Amino acid sequence: MKKFYWLIIFSVILCTTSVYAFNLKFWTWGKNPDITENVGERELLENKADFEIIPTMDTESNSKNTVWVGTFQLIWNDLTDELIKHPVEFVGGKSSVADKLNKKSFTADDLLESSYYKKWGLVSRNLKTEIEKGIKEKFNETSDILNNLDWTPAPEKYLLYAMLKKDFEYIRPFDKLPEGYFNGSEGKVKYFGINKHSKSYLRDTVTVLFYNGKDDYALLLKSKQGDNVYLYRTDDEKTLNLLYDDMIKKSKTYKGDKYFSEVDEFKAPNIDFKKERRFPELCNKQIKNTNFMISDAIETVQFKMDEVGVKLKSEAAIILGATCCPPPRIEPRYFYFDSRYVIFLQEKSKPYFAMKIEDAKAVQGK
């Protein structure tokens, strides 16, 4: 009997504890922003903080890694210059992204014609085929984004597209260097460059821009095709455009030796990534003084840098469509056949039945 009594008490305590624990979890789940059941969403936010494609060089970013390519700016310029004929402003409020893009700080004139392909026009399968053929002929490339766009034709629905492609080699390949850590990383990364064991002729392919101490220096790597690679070491928290300006200013005022000497060394990590970004902040807003709105805006960046050279492929696309105008007010109509009327039945060019009705009661069955 005592065992049964204690068993009842234990069961009551266990149930009470379980209910309390459930209520506590339910209550704190809604109260504590650090607690979430959506693990996938949390991981997405963390990944976004690790890497970000930005639309302009003067865009601020808190991400650990930030990359800008001029591809999206190329199609934005076509949007403003060729299609709507004025800067983009949205109905209902300002957009800092649009304002920065409207400045056109980068244009096609900043590239060799051989480095890019761009096309815009009404959305159609023919346009898609033309773009695919164009990038194949020019770059021997295929698109990573065209098949994911909405190609349903519609009146005043446009696509603006661009691909930027660069593939060049350094004047001479640098040495593969021992793997090492990068900025306190847990694992080691691959490096390339020049050390004391490297051939002396490699030093002629590098130019010192400046060396102002162990945390402030920059190099220029030359390539066979004429492209230059700048490497700038700094801890300054500035936008990319300001960092570039700083690097150029420091180079112009540097009075030290710009020759990469026999005792100088450098190493840089291998880089290899492929990223995509959409710009929802530019979408589904009517553009002022037009009946257009952007329904999709996307940019991709694929980049590789190692001891041999650099490979870059970037695509950008904007889908622009007519805004949905509010439907006109429809007044009700009353089709009341409650007085004299006629019926016709027709199969081909002439009726095969006709009837006039003035007395509906006379033709209703009993």
Which pLDDT score, from 0 to 100, does residue 82 have? Answer: 95
Confidence check: pLDDT of 245 > 70: yes
Q: Is residue 67 part of a domain?
A: yes
Shared-domain flag, residues 13 and 156? no
Look at the chain and report how many structural domains it folds into. Answer: 3
Pair 233, 88 in one domain: no
Statement to judge: residues 89 and 183 lie in one domain: no
State which residues form the domain around 12.
Answer: 2-35
Q: What percent of the chain has pLDDT over 90?
A: 63
Same domain as 87, residue 215: no
The reply to whether 243 and 195 lie within a common domain is yes
Task: Judge whether residue 297 has pLDDT over 70.
Answer: yes
Tell me, yes or no, whether 228 lies in a domain.
yes
Examine residue 234 and state whether it is found in any structural domain, yes or no: yes
Rg (C-alpha) for the chain, rounded Å, is 33
pLDDT digits over 89-112, tens only?
A: 999 889 999 999 999 999 999 999
Q: Does residue 73 carry a pLDDT above 60?
A: yes
Instruction: Tell whether the model's pLDDT for residue 294 goes beyond 80.
Output: yes
For residues 282 and 159, membership in a common domain is answered with: yes
Question: What is the 3-class SS of the chain, one letter each residue?
Answer: CHHHHHHHHHHHHHHHHHHHHHHHHHHHHHHCCCCCCCHHHHHHHHHHHHEEECCCCCCCCCCCEEECCCHHHHHHHHHHHHHCCCCCCECCCCCHHHHHHHCCCCCHHHCCHHHEEEEEEECCHHHHHHHHHHHHHHHCCCCCCHHHCCCCCCCCCEEEEEEEEEEEEECCCCEEEEEECCCCCCCCEEEEEECCCCCHHHHHHEEEEEECCCCCEEEEEEECCCCEEEEEECCCCCCHHHHHHHHHHHHHHCCCCCECCCCCCEEEECEEEEEEEECHHHCCCEECCCCEEEEEEEEEEEEEECCCEEEEEEEEEEEEEECCCCCCCCCCCCCCCCCCEEEEEECCCCEEEEEEECCHHHHCCC
In this predicted model, which residue has the larger pLDDT, 295 or 329?
295
* Same structural domain, 132 and 208: no
Greater model confidence, 137 or 238: 137
Instruction: Say what the pLDDT of residue 334 is.
Output: 74
Judge whether 181 lies within some domain: yes
pLDDT tens readout for residues 318-333: 999 987 555 455 677 6
Question: Does residue 239 fall inside a structural domain?
Answer: yes
Last residue of a domain, one of 271, 291, 312: 271
Q: Residue 337 domain-assigned?
A: no
More confident residue, 12 or 218: 218
pLDDT confidence of residue 343: 64
At 323 the pLDDT is: 75
Mean pLDDT, rounded, of the chain? 82
Question: Mean pLDDT, to the nearest integer, of 329-347?
Answer: 66
Residue 120 has pLDDT above 50, yes or no: yes
Does residue 84 sit in the same domain as residue 123? yes
pLDDT at 31 over 50: no
- Pairing state of beta strands 271-278 and 266-269? unpaired
Task: Say yes or no: 144 and 102 in one domain.
Answer: yes
Considering the domain architecture, whether residues 245 and 304 belong to the same structural domain is answered as: no
Same domain for 193 and 124: no
73 in a domain, yes or no? yes
**Confidence at residue 162, expressed as pLDDT on a 0 to 100 scale:** 98
Say yes or no: 99 and 8 in one domain.
no
Share of the chain above pLDDT 70, in %: 76
Residue 16 has pLDDT above 60, yes or no: no
Examine the fold and report which residue of 301, 322, 343 is the final residue of a domain before the chain moves on.
322
Summarize pLDDT for 156-207 with one digit per residue, the tens.
999 999 999 999 999 999 999 999 999 888 888 999 999 999 999 999 999 9
- Residue 253 maps to a domain: yes
